[in-house]
Chains A and B, each alone.
Chain A
Amino acid sequence: MLDLGTAAQAPAPAARGSLWWDAWYELRRRVVFWLSAAILLIAVAMALFPGPFAALGGPQRGCDLRMSKRPPQEGALFGYDLQGCDYWSQIVHGARASILIGLAVTIFALLIAIVLGLLGGYFGGWADALISRITDVFFGIPFVLGATVILVAFPGHGVWAMTLVLVVLGWTTMTRLMRAQVIAVRGMDFVAAARMLGASHLRIMVKHILPNAIAPVFVLAMLNVGNVIAGEATLDYLGVGLQYPEVSWGLQLNAARSFFTEHPHLLIFPSLFLTATVLGFLMLGDVARDALDPRLH
Chain B
Amino acid sequence: MRYAAQRLLQAVPVFFATTFLIYAMVFALPGDPILALAGDKPISDETLHTLRERYHLNDPLIVQYGLYMFGLLRGDLGQSFTGQQVSDMLAGRWEVTAQLALTAWVLELAVGVLLGVVAALRRGGIADTAVLAGTTFVIAVPVFVVGYAAQIVLGLNLGLFPTAGTEQGWPGSYLLPGMVLASFSLAYVARLTRTSLAENLRADYVRTATAKGMRRRRVIGRHALRNSLIPVVTFLGVDFGNLMAGAVVTEGIFNLPGIGQQVFQSIQLQEGPVVVGAVTVLVMIFIAVNLVVDLLYGVLDPRIARA
Q: Which residues of A contact B (CB under 8 A)?
A: 133-134, 136-137, 140-146, 148-150, 152-153, 155, 226, 230, 233-234, 237-238, 253, 257, 260-261, 264, 267, 271, 274-275, 278-279, 282-283, 286, 295
Contact = CB atoms under 8 A, between A and B. Distances in A.
A149 B249 contact: no
B246 to A, nearest CB: 6
A278 B18 CA distance: 30
B145 to A, nearest CB: 5
9 contacts: A140-B14, A141-B283, A142-B282, A145-B282, A149-B22, A149-B26, A238-B249, A260-B152, A286-B136
Contacts of B199: 295
B142 A275 contact: yes
Contacts, number: 116
Nearest to A144: B248
B292 to A, nearest CB: 15
A144 B140 contact: no
B25 interface: yes
A144 B145 contact: no
Given A140-B283, A257-B148, A283-B136, A133 B249 contact: no
Interface string B262-287: 01100110000001000100110011
A230 B242 contact: no
B140 A141 contact: no
Contact of B142 (A148, A155, A234, A283): A234
A238 B249 CA distance: 8
Size class of the B contact interface (CB-based, 8 Å): 35 or more
Interface in B125-143: 136-137, 139-143
A260 B30 CA distance: 34
B136 A133 contact: no
B29 A152 contact: yes
A237 B249 CA distance: 9
Contacts of A274: 142, 145
B30 A267 contact: no
A261 B164 CA distance: 14
Given A153-B26, A237-B142, A260-B148, 13 more contacts: A137-B14, A141-B22, A143-B246, A149-B22, A149-B29, A153-B28, A153-B30, A155-B30, A267-B145, A271-B142, A275-B142, A278-B140, A286-B136
A282 B138 CA distance: 11
B158 interface: no
Nearest to A223: B139
A150 B25 contact: yes
